Structure 1
Amino acid sequence: MEASPPKTVSKVVESVKKPKIPPPETEKAIWTRINVILAFWAVVLLMGIPAWLYTTMIYRADLPLQEMMDWAEGKVCRPVFPLRLSVEADSIPIPEAQNLVRITQHALDDLNDFSAHHLRLLLSDSEKRNGTQSEGREQTDSEPVESILGKSEDIALSIRFRPESGISAPRADLHAYAPVLDIFYPPTQMPSASSTSSPLASFVANELQSIYTEEQASLAYLLTANNAPSQKTKILSQEFNDMLARRNTRSFKYASTYHLTFSLFTPSYVPNDWEIRSALKSYMTPLLESLSSISNFTVDSQVQLYAEMPPSMREPELDSSRKAWTMRKEDLSGFINAAEWPLSPSIGAGPTINFILYVASEERRPLLVAENGKSSWLVPQWGGMQIFNPSTSKTPAVLTKDDLRPAMHKFSEHLMSLLGVPVTPKSFPLRLSTLTRVRSAQLMFSASSTMGALARLTKTLPSIEIPDSVAKNTAETLIRLEHACRDLKDGKFHSALENARMAEAHAEKAFFEPSMVGQVYFPEEHKVAVYLPLLGPVAVPLVMAAIKEIRAYRERYQAAGAVVVAAVGP
């Protein structure tokens, strides 16, 4: 028989086969662990996630999106341009003057095919004669048109009737430097107080219609291009469409300030000076002062010696019939040597308009354009060029004010073309008034379009930030647009231009807000890429601990159920 193992060995084997089972967890320990896990989750849910959402939240100020879209679609304001024309007829009896204004107004209304632009005749001294004071009042349907006269600055044109014996037909004389139209008529053509028509009234109506033909065409072209609603749309001829399209192509976009740079370039060491200050004061300053109601201007000048034409340009050719050197029209675009000539593209806040006076060399003089024989040309949306051909064989060392007179006159024409000043009528104040109305409408449409673009951007990109500055500029834009629209309806065109200018400025600030523009290129996917490596290591222990505790709870629940079943029995 084999000997039995010692008792100590059997005890060791028994202890190895049956490991010690830890004592059961007390209920207090279980609840302690559950409370710890719940505390962590409470911190995450009640503090961590709200703090994360708050710190990563994109602030979006409230914008009146529907109102902005209504402005962009032209539903809020229908631009109208009522022009008040003062009629001075001191030599005509009151009843006949009133009837003349009335039938002339009817003739004007019959000729007008563009309801957004209408002329209103006002008898200037009817209030004084009738002893009424209607200044500042608006016209009503039951009130005669000749009994209302606005403020003098709201009068677009003064019409003066002057009887003249010895003439058989009326004639008109429009002043070149004043908004005054003189009508000279034979006394026999003055209609009586009971007349319903008159050749004189028809003549005046046709004359006024011809004066404002280009303005009506410009406004109709502008309204059509911007899809602005109008009760009656003017149909433009192809000639007018082409002319207005060319004007828009060559003219600068409106700016409150333009910078004018006058440059003298010479291929040699002479001339080395020019009397530019006195020339600008005599020939350019009056024009700039007249345009100051529309835009401001800053001026500087420079002289560049040994300025050669670019080598890539074709050499001028000698025209024996003209006894002049000529350049082809297709070569003019390469005349400016931008690589060597010091021409700054932008100085200051506003756009720069360049005016270059180039002195032809003594070997190639005179230097002209082959196609038209001229010595100047316009560069669209850039400036003007003028070739200076001295009358003497030797180039003067200094260009005097008289030498610069033709160039300054040509630069003045170029400036008006680049600013979009209309060509007709011959009265310069009327042309400036037309430019004021056109620019007012352009700025209103531009600001309204910017508001629409901002509204669409806000709807399309919900993750983009909208700071308070955008909301403030948007509100200011809408207020200024309302004021500009009301000023247009009231015939206060200078005030309308100022409000439209400020509306455009605030709209640009709102749309090109730096913080908002940068947010466009930060989509939601970037947030996931940034925060996932940070939140992942934190979330995994919390989730695993919660899963483990749920499993333990299920096991305890099942064990408790088995004990109950065993105690009850089958």
Structure 2
Amino acid sequence: MIDQNGGATASGSSLPAAVVPESIAMSATPPVSTVVSHALPLEKPGAVRTRTMVILAFWAVIIFFGFPMWWKTTSVYRASLPLDEMTSWAEDKACKPEFPLEIILRTPSISLAEAQGLLRTTQHALDDLNEFPVHHLRLKLAEHTETAENKLDIDVEMVDNSNTALVVNLISKEEIPAPISELHSYSPRMDIWYPPSQLPSVTSTTSPLITFIAGEIQKLFNEEKATIAHILGHDFNSISPTMAEIVSKRVTRSLKYAETYHLSFSLFTPGSQPSSWEIEDAIQEYMLPLLHAFSPISNFSIDTQVQLYASFSPSSPHPEFDEAAQQWTLKEEHLSAFINAAEWPLSPSIGSGPTINFVLYVPAPSQSPLVVKESQATSWIVPQWGGVAIVNPPLAAATSSNPSYLTKESLKPALLTFSHQLLTLLGTPATPSSLPLRLQALIRTRAASLLLSASSTMGSLARLTQSLSSIPIPLNVASSVITTLSHLASTCQLLREGKFTSALASARVAEKEAEKSFFEKTMVGQMYFPDEHRIAVYLPLLGPIGVPLAMALLKELKNLITDFRQRRTKK
């Protein structure tokens, strides 16, 4: 048998083992499997320490440098406020205001003993009539050396130089059967004439004269008492429903108190005449005396303007002609639309204080005379805005033209009307008829309202700072709060001492500082920045940085714990 290499072999013979090919011998041997390890090599101790130190260094910078800097730059400064005292003022626990009015009783016609007995008995009668203890009248006897003939003219100076609210002169008169009284319109003085037969004896406890004197004095201050009770939220039985309605209506119509008001006098006419008016001289003569009398209460600035071709608003009802009365009329329900606010240049606010508008309207000759239909009046008040007066020139309808110039005398009725409207808009009581007494009552009521308003603002600020812990409280707010509380205490004390003008000045400062502290712009801006906004700002910045650092720290802690356990196991 021939093999593939050309050599001959014996048939059926097997090859010796020595010459068996190596490949066949290897295929007969069983295979040996090889195991490959994928485990990472162990870290060197130096590398582990380096990684740990790097992680700790990052966290050291964050803890000892990053967090303090973040806390310092983002922390909100909150000055310390006397919250308990502020809340006490708001809850009427810190002050119980009182209004003691000193009334001088002058009795030049009787002896000193009789005058003292009359004073004592009249005081008892006044106390019995008074049901409002906050407001009380205190009689004081004038020096008995005075006489009625030569001392009646010093009453105004006496009141101006003291805290006296009223001077009562008792004058004996034989011809009258019963006591009569007269209140001076431009002086805080009331004269009472009485028959000598009604003069009570020293030991008498009552008499018709005493009852009359007490009743006349009490009547002068009824509206003031009702106003103060309305402001302070008190209620007493002596206020009649009619008086309560009068006070409520007056408070609703009057403007909020301000240290300075701006008076704007405007002349409007639908044609080209009148084109000028003697307004400066008219204000100087008819308005300035009243404004000077208001100087202890408020200050005033004045401007004037003339607007020609000032027509009615197209949407408002026009005047109607009354055939019977031969005059043009406006209905009361249409008075609110009389002002053409869209075309008439009436500025709502000029300067820091509120503006009081006084509109003088001269109708066209074809619509003159013009009056209010229901009351036949030519003037009315727009609550909390100003007043309107219509001037109907006497010869306008006959001559078919208005005068080109309004003199000071022709403006007098309108300026006097504006004076009365100003008193109403500033909240002056309608009674008594004496202007000085009404202005004194306004001083006391304004002091009471400012005291209550500033106290309420302090309470609101205290609640705000307690409910919103994230808003800042700068030092100027704390300073304003301290100033407010100091002037509130001073106002309360001055009211109790009867120094009402000084009390109003102190209350004015308290109100101003209270408003300044409450409306601090840095505080108002933070009121509307909730915590959700902070999270929305910080999370996109700190998330990508904080997560890897936190995971690395956790992994390192895990390795340290595992290593510690292995060491304990080997031991």
| Matched residue type, 1:476 | T
Q: 1:322 is matched with which residue?
A: 325
Q: 1:260 is matched with which residue?
A: 263
Q: 1:279 is matched with which residue?
A: 282
Residue range with higher mean Cα deviation, 80-89 or 235-244: 235-244
Equivalent of residue 93 in structure 2, options 53, 57, 75: 75
Whether 2:552 is the aligned partner of 1:545: answer yes
Q: 1:122 is matched with which residue?
A: 140
Q: 2:516 is matched with which residue?
A: 509
Q: 1:208 is matched with which residue?
A: 217
Q: Distance in 1 between matches of 2:382 and 2:568?
A: 96
Q: 1:61 is matched with which residue?
A: 79
Q: SS where residue 97 of structure 2 aligns?
A: coil
Shift of residue 50, structure 1, vs aligned partner: 2.1
Contact 2:108–2:145 (CA under 8 A) maintained in structure 1:
no
Shift of residue 288, structure 1, vs aligned partner: 0.7
Q: Distance in 2 between matches of 1:125 and 1:176?
A: 25
Shift of residue 406, structure 1, vs aligned partner: 0.8
| Matched residue type, 1:432 | L
Deviations, residues 14-48 of structure 1 (Å, cap 9, x unaligned): 8x94679646523x443343233222212212221
Whether 2:533 is the aligned partner of 1:533: answer no
Equivalent of residue 98 in structure 1, options 103, 110, 116: 116
Equivalent of residue 172 in structure 1, options 172, 181, 195: 181
Unpaired segments ≥5 residues, structure 2 = 1-20, 26-32, 147-157
Q: SS where residue 402 of structure 2 aligns?
A: coil
Shift of residue 560, structure 1, vs aligned partner: 3.5
| Matched residue type, 1:114 | F
RMSD of aligned alpha carbons: 2.3
The 5-angstrom pairing of residues 340-355 of structure 1 reads: 340-355=343-358
Contact 2:432–2:438 (CA under 8 A) maintained in structure 1:
yes
Q: SS where residue 298 of structure 1 aligns?
A: strand
Q: 2:61 is matched with which residue?
A: 43
Shift of residue 3, structure 1, vs aligned partner: 5.4
Deviations, residues 297-327 of structure 1 (Å, cap 9, x unaligned): 0011000111111111112111011110111
Q: Distance in 2 between matches of 1:150 and 1:268?
A: 50
Q: 1:8 is matched with which residue?
A: none
Deviations, residues 454-506 of structure 1 (Å, cap 9, x unaligned): 11111111111211111111111111100000010000000110111111111
Q: 1:10 is matched with which residue?
A: none
Whether 2:387 is the aligned partner of 1:384: answer yes
CA spacing shift, 1:168–1:76, aligned 2, 3 Å: same
Contact 2:83–2:462 (CA under 8 A) maintained in structure 1:
yes
CA spacing shift, 1:351–1:192, aligned 2, 3 Å: same
Shift of residue 535, structure 1, vs aligned partner: 1.2
Q: Distance in 2 between matches of 1:64 and 1:278?
A: 53
| Matched residue type, 2:175 | G
Shift of residue 550, structure 1, vs aligned partner: 2.0
CA spacing shift, 1:4–1:236, aligned 2, 3 Å: farther
The 5-angstrom pairing of residues 403-442 of structure 1 reads: 403-442=410-449
Shift of residue 192, structure 1, vs aligned partner: 2.5
Q: Distance in 2 between matches of 1:373 and 1:462?
A: 61
Q: Distance in 2 between matches of 1:431 and 1:56?
A: 55
| Matched residue type, 1:280 | I
Q: Which structure has the greater CA radius of gyration?
A: 2
The 5-angstrom pairing of residues 365-514 of structure 1 reads: 365-392=368-395, 393=398, 394-514=401-521
CA spacing shift, 1:19–1:238, aligned 2, 3 Å: closer
Q: Distance in 1 between matches of 2:231 and 2:404?
A: 49
Equivalent of residue 298 in structure 1, options 295, 301, 316: 301
The 5-angstrom pairing of residues 174-193 of structure 1 reads: 174-193=183-202
Q: Distance in 2 between matches of 1:535 and 1:116?
A: 63
| Matched residue type, 1:485 | C
CA spacing shift, 1:235–1:54, aligned 2, 3 Å: farther
Q: 2:44 is matched with which residue?
A: 25
Q: 2:28 is matched with which residue?
A: none
Q: Distance in 2 between matches of 1:169 and 1:23?
A: 124
| Matched residue type, 1:207 | E
The 5-angstrom pairing of residues 238-253 of structure 1 reads: 238-253=241-256
Shift of residue 127, structure 1, vs aligned partner: 11
Contact 1:270–1:396 (CA under 8 A) maintained in structure 2:
yes
CA spacing shift, 1:23–1:108, aligned 2, 3 Å: closer
Contact 2:265–2:303 (CA under 8 A) maintained in structure 1:
yes
CA spacing shift, 1:412–1:19, aligned 2, 3 Å: closer
Q: Distance in 1 between matches of 2:77 and 2:337?
A: 51
The 5-angstrom pairing of residues 195-234 of structure 1 reads: 195-224=204-233, 233-234=236-237
Contact 1:327–1:370 (CA under 8 A) maintained in structure 2:
yes
Q: Distance in 1 between matches of 2:125 and 2:526?
A: 59
Contact 2:159–2:188 (CA under 8 A) maintained in structure 1:
no
CA spacing shift, 1:273–1:561, aligned 2, 3 Å: same
Shift of residue 552, structure 1, vs aligned partner: 2.2
Q: Distance in 2 between matches of 1:396 and 1:207?
A: 49
Q: Distance in 2 between matches of 1:450 and 1:171?
A: 48
Unpaired segments ≥5 residues, structure 1 = 6-12, 129-148, 565-570
Contact 1:115–1:233 (CA under 8 A) maintained in structure 2:
no
| Matched residue type, 1:385 | V
Shift of residue 2, structure 1, vs aligned partner: 3.8
Q: Distance in 2 between matches of 1:77 and 1:109?
A: 23
Q: Distance in 1 between matches of 2:160 and 2:300?
A: 29
CA spacing shift, 1:432–1:161, aligned 2, 3 Å: same
Q: SS where residue 363 of structure 1 aligns?
A: helix
| Matched residue type, 2:295 | S
CA spacing shift, 1:234–1:350, aligned 2, 3 Å: farther
TM-score when normalising by structure 2: 0.89
CA spacing shift, 1:54–1:375, aligned 2, 3 Å: same
Q: Distance in 1 between matches of 2:561 and 2:286?
A: 99
Contact 1:376–1:384 (CA under 8 A) maintained in structure 2:
yes
Q: SS where residue 345 of structure 1 aligns?
A: coil
| Matched residue type, 2:256 | K
Q: Distance in 2 between matches of 1:278 and 1:185?
A: 45
Q: 2:8 is matched with which residue?
A: none
Q: Distance in 2 between matches of 1:4 and 1:497?
A: 126
